[in-house]
Amino acid sequence: MTELLANFAAGRWQTGNGPGTVLSDPVLGDALVRVDCTGLDLPEAFAFARDRGGAALRAMSYRERAALLAAVVKVLQAHRGSYYDIATANSGTVKNDSAVDIDGGIFTLGQYARWGDALGDVRVLRDGDAVKLGKEPVFLSQHLQVPTRGVALFINAFNFPAWGLWEKAAPALLSGVPVIVKPATATAWLTQRMVKDVIDAGVLPAGALSVIAGSSAGLMDQLQPFDVVSFTGSAETAGVIRSHPAVAHRSVRANIEADSLNSALLLPDATVGSDAFNLLVREVVREMTVKSGQKCTAIRRILVPAAVYDAAAEAIGAKLAGISVGNPRNESVRMGSLVSTAQLHAVREGLAALGAHTDMLHDGRARPLVDADPAVAACMGPVLLGARDADAASAVHDMEVFGPVATLLPYRDLDHALALSHRGQGSLVTSLFGADEAALADAAVQLAASHGRVHVVTPDVAQTHTGHGNVMPMSQHGGPGRAGGGAELGGLRALDFYHQRSAVQASPGVLASLGL
């Protein structure tokens, strides 16, 4: 029988009293550990976090809480090797892909520790200047931001068990808001281990951080008016969260990151073999293969001028053909597995549905796997599809296949390309490739309305740009419409979600005493 991982709730380690769900190695098929939270006293867990954790965090200044984040960074760095081992075993990722999750999470925490330190020894944040409410400056309005007096519940997706926790926990803890994380079951082990290391190190106040792994049943029912919930996952579950009474009737703030049909766009003046063309090809291949395409920001639709469609198909296909797929423990493997066989089946089903609207341009599925048994491993080579009639291929604009799959689409002119990009109905990110700075800037502004981030790649930033799919803490992560309407990160903007803005109307003397 595999180990049953404990939950950390109400300030103590507690195992569920059910049989648990087994987490597996998606490459070897081995059972690894089990998670379960049956029988946990959820009201007690939430009250402990809200009351004990919240009070302890709010008693500190932003600088003191920033120091907590810095201490968490040290703990995680000390155990980094074990996180890579868990990622290899439970997520089937090669080292570079595990780094995106593990080191990406640690980097984000470190960044918020620095930003938080710069906020200083204050407990309240000033929001703009005081403005007079009458003719004379004798009675004024001063907006301020105070930490919300609730708990932050994170319901996370399977693809980022490390980063998905810390990119949210960093701004929450810095804001003075305790965190309860419910990781996706398939990859809950890494989240649980990181929380365990931080708790065991004793660097956070009691109640500041809890982990509940297993079923999500009953979690949303615990939420009270000043709590917040961050959800990352499918559009379907997002609908369940949005319509839950906590959100619908108790005004619990919800940040939703759902699925997204991100695009890459090669501008009309780019010719075959130009720098912009080559940069697009390189980025598309990277996005299709990093974490086997299981990134919410991955490029799903590639928009190119009709004149370069065939050459783009050939160039992307040629590079994809060089990607070795299989057991991530083998040093020669570039792309590991999908997260589970269930996910592999979901991708196969999605591909079959897209197949009705597209042509096969490159099929990496036929290639032999390295060091992995195709009957067991959830590995799959990359697939490039194409649709010569981009308008008619409606499924390509509607259906996210969460794996190493993308579709090449030709466009007539820039207006057509922008219209196709907007057909994603709101996405996390789009990237633009070209050399004409004015045309790129204009396209960026036009696409900003339907994208949380616009990533522009010109030849001069070929070596320095941060990557289409890389979520940097300095930039906003989240998109409108079907991407969920959420907004995370973006520097200190992330703190807004965990604060209440209030306008204090008072005399200059009272406002001066606020200590802002």
- The full length of the chain comes to 516
Write the interaction track for ligand NAP spanning residues 407-446; mark x where CB under 6 A is met and - where it is not.
---------------------x------------------
* Subset of 157-196 contacting ligand NAP (CB under 6 A): 157-160, 182, 184-185
Q: Which of 400, 408, 453, 485 binds ligand NAP (CB under 6 A)?
A: 400
Report the candidate in 252, 296, 158 with the shortest Cα–Cα distance to residue 497.
252
- Asked if 485 is part of the footprint of ligand NAP (rule: CB under 6 A), the reply reads no
DSSP string covering 119-182, please?
H-S-SSEE-S--EESSSSTTSEEEEEEEE-SS-EEEE--TT-TTHHHHHHHHHHHHHT--EEEE
Which residues, including other chains, have CB under 8 Å from residue 442's CB and lie 6 or more apart?
A: none
Q: Does 456 sit near ligand NAP (CB under 6 A)?
A: no
SS (H, E, C) 52-109: HHHHHHHCCCHHHHHHHHHHHHHHHHHCHHHHHHHHHHHHCCCHHHHHHHHHHHHHHH
Residue 50 vs 182, nearer CB to ligand NAP? 182
Query: Which of 98, 232, 255, 327 lies at the binding interface for ligand NAP (CB under 6 A)?
Result: 232
Dig out the tokens for 174 from the structure.
């810095």
Angle at CA of residue 247, ends 244 and 252, nearest 5°: 145
379 is a catalytic site residue: no
Cα distance between residue 85 and residue 83, in whole Å? 5
Q: Which of 296, 379, 400, 488 is catalytic?
A: 296
Under the binding rule (CB under 6 A), the answer on residue 475 touching ligand NAP is: no
Nearer to ligand NAP, 94 or 428 (CB): 428
- State the nearest-atom distance from the C-beta of 235 to ligand NAP, in Å: 7
Extract the tokens encoding 416.
């057509």
**Segment contacting ligand NAP by CB under 6 A, of 7-15, 117-125, 153-161, 382-390:** 153-161
Q: Which stretch binds ligand NAP (CB under 6 A): 154-162, 306-314, 412-420, 451-459?
A: 154-162
Candidates 67-75, 125-133, 256-264, 444-452 — which segment interacts with ligand NAP by CB under 6 A? 256-264
Cβ neighbourhood burial of 150 (10 Å; 0-12, 13-18, 19+): buried
Which position has the token pair 């049943």? Answer: 217
24 interacts with ligand NAP by CB under 6 A:
no
CB atoms under 10 Å from CB of 316, counted, come to: 25
Select 148 or 216, whichever has its Cβ closest to ligand NAP. Answer: 216
296 catalytic per annotation: yes
> Which residue lies nearest ligand NAP, judged by its C-beta?
233
Task: Please provide the DSSP assignment of 323-386 as one string.
Answer: --BB-TTSTT-SB---S-HHHHHHHHHHHHHHHTT-EEEEEGGGSPPBSS-TTT------EEEE
Q: Which is catalytic among the residues 37, 167, 257, 283?
A: 257
C-alpha span between 266 and 175 (Å, rounded): 40
CB of 167 to ligand NAP, least distance (A): 9
* Position 91 contacts ligand NAP (CB under 6 A): no
Q: Is 257 in the site for ligand NAP (CB under 6 A)?
A: yes
Place of tokens 């709010």: 58
Task: Output 93 or 159, the one with its CB closest to ligand NAP.
Answer: 159
Determine if 142 is a binding residue for ligand NAP (CB under 6 A): no
Which position among 233, 381, 452, 469 is part of the footprint of ligand NAP (CB under 6 A)? 233
Q: Which residues are catalytic?
A: 257, 296
Question: Which positions lie near ligand NAP, rule CB under 6 A?
Answer: 155-160, 182, 184-185, 216, 232-234, 237, 240, 257-260, 296, 400, 402, 428, 484
